[in-house]
Amino acid sequence: MSKRETITKLPQAFYARPTLEVAPDLLGKYLIYKAATGRIAARIVEVEGYLPVDDPACHAARGLTRRNRPMFGPPGRSYIYFIYGMYHCLNFVTEQDGTPGAVLLRAAEVVAGRELLVFPRGGKRTDRYPLSGPGKLCRAFGLSMDQNDLDLTGDRLYLEDRHENDVTIKQSPRIGIKVGVDHPWRFYDANSSAVTRPR
DNA sequence: GTAGTGATTTTCT
DNA sequence: GAAAATCACTACA
């Protein structure tokens, strides 16, 4: 306990900012999820921003739909969608209420609750299995549509600020999209080995 | 080691 | 009916 070790839950005001300000700030923060079986904590190392304007890759680019409705709501909530018939992706809603914007969580390092994670092939080789990818991450956490539109200032799913400053932030184009690739809105911690590997 | 493709279902046109 | 903010497996060098 040398320095300040105050751990604070990120307030709604943290999310109520432009997406491109929130996204890099998320690196080095900790994601806490209280599952039915216990508590999981992971350090965020890779995210992508999806903006309300000038972003054809954003789900909200074509207006409000049933799926992207949480993005149009108030900030500080979760937005989870199902894709490719088998994977879920977790986002944090940003911007003001009524303005669609979100940050996709792409990769994290588990620091607590590793034994609670769900892995492919029935849970073999759980050691050192990286949460490198949005689909993997949600599967490991057991996230599904049941956790969609949760309040991130609540107790079930939230982020902690542990005041880490040893994050080397880099940015690059986003991954897995076909339009809007020219926007470098992916942010990651260059010190982490859990970030998505380039193809 | 890299490259290519099947899986599988929700959502929107 | 087609596409989707992905992953893991298979084939081949």
**Using H for helix, E for strand and C for coil, what is the string for A134-162?**
HHHHHHHHCCCHHHCCCECCCCCEEEEEC
Contact criterion met (CB below 8 Å) for A20 and A51? yes
**Entry pTM:** 0.93
d(CA A116, CA A58): 32
| Amino acid A199 CA to nucleotide C8 C1' distance, rounded Å | 14
What are the phi and psi torsion angles at A124 (to 5°)? Answer: -80, 165
pLDDT in tens, A75-115: 999 999 999 999 999 999 999 999 999 999 999 999 999 98
Query: CA A59 from chain center: how many Å?
Result: 16
Cβ of A61 less than 7 A from strand C: no
| Amino acid A122 CA to nucleotide C11 C1' distance, rounded Å | 25
Cβ of A177 less than 7 A from strand C: yes
Cβ of A94 less than 7 A from strand C: no
Position A4, amino acid: R
pLDDT at res. A120: 76
Contact criterion met (CB below 8 Å) for A139 and A118? yes
| Band of residue A6 on the pLDDT scale cut at 50, 70, 90 | confident
Which neighbouring-strand residues pair with A162?
none
d(CA A96, CA A75): 6
d(CA A121, CA A143): 18
pLDDT in tens, A146-198: 999 999 999 999 999 999 878 999 999 999 998 999 999 999 999 998 999 76
| Amino acid A190 CA to nucleotide C5 C1' distance, rounded Å | 21
pLDDT at res. A3: 59
pLDDT in tens, A44-86: 999 999 999 999 999 999 999 999 999 999 999 999 999 999 9
Contact criterion met (CB below 8 Å) for A34 and A156? yes
Is A53 buried (19+), middle (13-18) or exposed (0-12) by CB count in 10 A?
exposed
- CA triple A62-A84-A154, angle to 5 deg: 75
pLDDT at res. A129: 74
d(CA A186, CA A189): 10
